[in-house]
């Protein structure tokens, strides 16, 4: 199933009054440091603290009355889990989330807090998709993918729709946009909106070093997984490869994909806290990290960046702020 800009507009209409229209921020101090203009879309301020609520609600709201009886099953390390859990609660249906045993405690507790049941799996030995599929069959539930679903992609694309319209309201033209990319749901959806409304804007994806499967896939011209790597600080971006639906959209849209190290991500988290007064989780910080590390030349240009989530474990955040990571 293909996804179009019309689907993004439809998602925006459905999400109105349910999702937060997050602001577009600007920091003179950050602009001065980077030598260009940066517009910041803080999805940290979205419901559940991440953009994932948009796609989850758009997907679940499309279920029929019969489908809602069995509820939904999802697999996620945290932000999609929370988005699905809250959307299910708002729409009055049960939800079960398959989560890794080592998922951040703050994300597990929040998922349960929104009313979902959590079933754990072992990243090293278990197949989360198989567990979700078996559970869905048992419960007659619908599996809600984290990114490879047309309604999920369209919902995430509303971030880009808002961003362009907010920039236009300021009379600002966006030269380039940087976004985190894991499975590609956010960046695929955003690219549909950006290319429709601001076709001259360059789109750049940002991945954690060692998990640059999107870059490898674009270079190969087909979906590829990155070689096995140690865990990343960016737990939200450890997707094994781009999705079947997201990859063709990214192929058409992206100017480049760059990678950032854990140390660069930690520095971006500190800058976001000290300069922007925002708490941003590691995966949500990668676009800012790419600019701070000089991966993209910003000189004299205007960039928009997406801070995709703010659900960071308190103990980890304290270590980052203390410079221990």
Positions marked catalytic: 52, 308
Alpha helices in 35-78 (DSSP H): 52-60, 65-70
Q: Which helix (H) or strand (E) holds 28?
A: helix 28-34
Beta strands in 142-282 (DSSP E): 142-143, 176-180, 202-208, 254-260
Alpha helices in 92-212 (DSSP H): 105-113, 128-139, 150-169, 185-197
Burial of residue 161, with CB atoms counted within 10 A of its CB: 0-12 exposed, 13-18 middle, 19 or more buried: buried
Q: How many CB atoms lie within 10 A of CB 3?
A: 23
What are the tokens at 107?
Answer: 């994300």
Q: CB-based contacts of 48: which residues, under 8 Å, 6+ apart?
A: 79, 82, 83, 85, 86, 110, 114, 311
Question: Helix 262-271 crosses helix 314-321 at what angle (to 10 degrees)?
Answer: 90
What are the tokens at 315?
Answer: 């103990």
């Amino acid at each position: 199933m293909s996804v179009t800009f019309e689907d993004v507009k439809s998602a925006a209409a459905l999400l109105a009054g349910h999702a937060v229209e997050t602001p577009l921020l600007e920091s003179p101090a950050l602009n001065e440091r980077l030598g260009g203009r940066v517009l910041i879309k803080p999805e940290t301020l979205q419901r559940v603290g991440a953009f994932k609520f948009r796609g989850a609600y758009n997907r679940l709201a499309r279920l029929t009355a019969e489908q809602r009886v069995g509820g939904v099953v999802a697999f996620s390390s945290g932000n999609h889990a929370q988005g699905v859990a809250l959307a299910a609660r708002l729409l009055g249906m049960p939800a079960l989330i398959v989560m890794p045993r080592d998922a951040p405690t703050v994300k597990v507790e929040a998922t349960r807090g929104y009313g979902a049941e959590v079933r754990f799996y072992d990243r090293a030995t278990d197949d989360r998709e198989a567990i979700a599929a078996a559970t869905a069959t048992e419960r007659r539930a619908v599996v809600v993918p984290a990114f490879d679903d047309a309604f999920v992609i369209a919902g995430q694309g509303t971030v880009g729709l808002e961003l362009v319209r907010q920039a236009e309201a300021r009379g600002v033209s966006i030269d380039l946009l940087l976004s985190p990319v894991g499975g590609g749901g956010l960046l695929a959806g955003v690219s549909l909106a950006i290319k429709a409304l601001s076709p001259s804007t360059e789109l750049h994806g940002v991945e954690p070093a060692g998990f640059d499967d999107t870059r490898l896939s674009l270079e190969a011209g087909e979906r590829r997984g990155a070689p096995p790597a140690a865990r990343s600080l960016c737990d939200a971006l450890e997707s094994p490869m781009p999705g079947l639906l997201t990859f063709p959209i990214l192929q058409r849209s992206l100017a480049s994909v760059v990678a950032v190290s854990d140390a660069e991500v930690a520095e971006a988290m500190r800058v976001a806290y000290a300069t922007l007064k925002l708490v941003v989780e590691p995966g949500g910080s990668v676009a800012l990290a790419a600019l701070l590390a000089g991966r993209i030349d910003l000189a004299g240009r205007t960039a928009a960046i997406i801070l995709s989530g703010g659900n960071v474990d308190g103990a980890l955040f304290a270590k980052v702020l203390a410079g221990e990571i």
